[in-house]
Structure 1
Amino acid sequence: MLDMIRSTRLPTKPEFPGEKDAFGIDLEDLRSLRDTWLHDFDWKREQASINRLHHYTVTIEGLKIHFIHEKSDDAANAIPLMLCHGWPGSFLEFIPVIEGLKRQARTSTGRNVSFDVIIPSLPGFAFSSAPPQNWTLDDTARVFNTLMTDVLGYEKYAVHGTSHGVPLSFTLYDAFNTTARAAHFVFMPFYPIDPSVIEARNITLTPLEQFELQRSVQWGLTGNGYFIMHTTKPNTVGLAMYDNPIGQLAWMGEKYIDWSDPNAGNGSPSVLTPNEILRCVSLYYLTRTFKSSMYTYAQDPGAWEREYRRAKTDAPLLVSFFKYNVGFWPREIMATVGNLTEYRNHDFGGNFAGLDNPPALIDDLREIGTYW
């Protein structure tokens, strides 16, 4: 991999002075990440860190499913919690929250809570095998329910989703409602709400929510080009960069930079460092799953629904939004899609909450214990 990185040529200067990231990833950001990859990043060190976790694979419906299973010290009373990632994430996205969730703590109402943490890799990601043709996130939800109940033996569990983990988690919350008995989301499986709907319903937004709404609108105007390519032409992107680590770094690294809080640094809760971006891209490159991961979009183009609907369950629904994410839904709308028990808004963080603001995500997930 290092030889490939070393031999890749980059332009000497941007096409237009002062363009920065207006047209995608900034050339200097990419050059800096490449130099860090070459001179400071140590995959063997990262591999040793990853291997300290308990990894397993199991075959379900002909697919090899990789998952991490970390048990609470209070195993008899712990809540099983499945954390579901999406693109360009992976199981790595949730490593910073594992220890906090395993450790016994108190909810805001004073109840003791801890979790058994299960983090599966979606089919076609990391160490899970690629699914067959016409596989949808509903199919993944069915397989993940089997993992939790038949393989791991949990009679009921809670689920958290981000990115593609949201549609499949909502399916579990809705269609597997006797086993998935609580859900927490940082995104929603519906297209972001249009400002005209907020105005028509006379919904009042806080200044933070107004900012999030504008981020959501801007993403719809200029940020979804990758989404269209993944959904319609995954082969073009996948084959063009299949054996090009710098190409994959530019394609995915831009999302980590653009969808996260730009104020990360000293004193912030973010652990989304250049090293973390390189670790994620390295995982995709070394497992050769850059192309197969994009088929999640193409095989399930309707994963994000345009019509809002209420899940067929009375299980608690908890929602957390972070300032620099790319989708926004007000409390009044969230109350129409499930049994909304918690709605929280954070002024720091973004799409990758497990990396961008781990303490807030841990605190919010612990509130599952209030309603369990």
Structure 2
Amino acid sequence: MLVLALGLLSEAAKIGTSSIKPLKINLSERIPHMLDLVQRTHLPAAELPAAKDSYNTSLSSGMPLSTLQSLQKEWIASFSWEKEQESINRYHHFTVEIEGQDVHFIRELSQDPKAIPIILLHGWPGSFLEMLPLIDLLTLNEPAATGSERTSFNVVVPSLPGFGLSSPAPDNWTIPDTARIFNTLMTEVLGYQTYAVHGTDWGCAVAYGLYGQFNTTVQAAHLNFLPFFPLNSEQLAALNITLSVEEEDDEQRFLDWQGAGFGYFIEQATKPNTIGLALYDNPMGQLAWIAEKFILWSDPRRGTGPSVLTDNEILRHVSLYYLTQSLVSSVYMYAQNLDGFATEYTKAKTNAPLLYSSFKYNVGFWPKTLVEEVGNLVYYKFHEFGGHFPALDNPPALADDIRMIGKYWHN
């Protein structure tokens, strides 16, 4: 691991990037304050009669009191940030200044000299932590079912601007701006002439921007979410798109989310400062706001194999948001990108292969015919297990789909 880190620094020096710095994450200083606030937070003794008991339905009124109480107890009694931090630090972390922005990223190299460079992009309420289960899977040099020899990757995982250890985005910062600095990261900082990209949630918008805007360097893209608003049943019918019985279930899940689960989006898009400041020094508030999404948007079998989306995983995400004081800056991505998820479908200006994975419990659903409208779709696969966070919900399946890039990689 140390050899790889030194190799990265040497490579950076060669291309004149003197500001790149190795980073060891140490956020322990604020742990006592955080846990003190968690312990001193008094929750109601009983659920309100009006609150729904059923959490995994579209009629849910939000985070159940019993779930929040259970997470609070686990946070106090058994969660260890020091242990999690040690695990996180086994990866190679760096920061670099690009266009005045401090960009945090992980870079892990495969031993395969033919490894494909790839950048993995998270969304909200995810973080770079969301992509960690993929790193070991993608850096391994294993033969794919397709027989492709190019199945291993050199993996780069940045934190989006305003998230975690990356600096807050300045005023008027948009998705194309993030795409531009991430292309700089891959080409000028890390020296890759070409690379692949994977993205989910807001990360899919950045990934799609890279796919179309930087079409000479991005040679393949894999997505499990699209930066286009899903269509309702009437819109699909108007396009003569007929869904299977299984797809109708997925479409209904999106419609339920659109009707009962979209309020957070409107709040963060229109009043990011209000929600951000209200939760700023409130770890239990951040837990309620963030954990609701992780639980409701994921496969209901979360935490059972192959899912690694346990309560502990949720707690370390929330701890990262709180300890880096980045919740308020993260939600500004919504307000700064009001058109980040377009209503009009357009095709990217590239012939590079586009691969797509659909997971049953995702909050958005796009049938194959729609995905074909936005890029050069060469691969589409549906998975029964998984939801909005497939790198946590079903990392082996997602990694296998990403590794299919090797079949279409021609550089």
| TM norm structure 1 | 0.98
CA drift at 1:265: 4.6
1:87-236 map, 5 Å: 87-112=124-149, 113-236=151-274
Say which is worse superposed, 78-87 or 200-209, in terms of deviation: 200-209
Match of residue 2 from structure 1: 35
**Which of 363, 369, 374 in structure 2 is aligned with 1:337?**
374
2:261 and 2:209 map into 1 onto residues whose CA distance is: 26
CA drift at 1:109: 1.9
1:139 and 1:188 map into 2 onto residues whose CA distance is: 18
2:385 and 2:345 map into 1 onto residues whose CA distance is: 27
Per-residue CA deviations over 1:300-322 (Å, capped at 9, x if unaligned) read 11111110000000000000011
In the alignment, does 2:114 pair up with 1:77?
Answer: yes
* 2:242 alignment partner, SS class: coil
CA drift at 1:196: 1.2
| TM norm structure 2 | 0.89
* 1:247 alignment partner, SS class: helix
1:288 and 1:211 map into 2 onto residues whose CA distance is: 38
* 1:140 alignment partner, SS class: helix
**AA in 1 matched with 2:369:** E
**AA in 1 matched with 2:196:** A
**Which of 334, 340, 361 in structure 2 is aligned with 1:297?**
334
In the alignment, does 2:348 pair up with 1:315?
Answer: no
1:208–1:347 CA contact under 8 A, matched in 2: no
Match of residue 34 from structure 1: 72
CA drift at 1:107: 2.9
**AA in 1 matched with 2:326:** T
2:226 and 2:286 map into 1 onto residues whose CA distance is: 26
2:173–2:336 CA contact under 8 A, matched in 1: yes
CA drift at 1:120: 0.4
2:211 and 2:232 map into 1 onto residues whose CA distance is: 25
1:65 and 1:57 map into 2 onto residues whose CA distance is: 5
Per-residue CA deviations over 1:273-306 (Å, capped at 9, x if unaligned) read 0000000000000000010000010111111111
Match of residue 96 from structure 2: 58
**AA in 1 matched with 2:114:** N
Say which is worse superposed, 7-16 or 249-258, in terms of deviation: 7-16
In the alignment, does 2:48 pair up with 1:15?
Answer: yes
CA drift at 1:344: 0.7
- The aligned length equals 370
1:66–1:121 CA contact under 8 A, matched in 2: yes
Runs of 4+ in 1 over 4 A off after TM superposition: none
* 2:387 alignment partner, SS class: coil
Match of residue 291 from structure 2: 253
CA drift at 1:17: 6.4
**AA in 1 matched with 2:131:** F
Per-residue CA deviations over 1:63-108 (Å, capped at 9, x if unaligned) read 000000000011x200001000010000100111111100012233
1:284–1:290 CA contact under 8 A, matched in 2: yes
CA drift at 1:18: 6.5
CA drift at 1:19: 1.4
**AA in 1 matched with 2:373:** T
* 1:347 alignment partner, SS class: strand
Match of residue 16 from structure 2: none
- Cα–Cα, structure 1 residues 265 and 299, in superposed 2: closer, same or farther, change >3 Å? closer
* 1:6 alignment partner, SS class: helix
Match of residue 288 from structure 1: 325
Match of residue 401 from structure 2: 364
2:105–2:156 CA contact under 8 A, matched in 1: yes
**AA in 2 matched with 1:8:** T
1:192 and 1:240 map into 2 onto residues whose CA distance is: 31
2:239 and 2:278 map into 1 onto residues whose CA distance is: 46
**AA in 2 matched with 1:226:** Y
* 1:105 alignment partner, SS class: coil
1:195 and 1:312 map into 2 onto residues whose CA distance is: 28
1:102 and 1:260 map into 2 onto residues whose CA distance is: 26
* 2:348 alignment partner, SS class: coil
In the alignment, does 2:363 pair up with 1:326?
Answer: yes
2:334 and 2:36 map into 1 onto residues whose CA distance is: 31
- Cα–Cα, structure 1 residues 265 and 139, in superposed 2: closer, same or farther, change >3 Å? closer
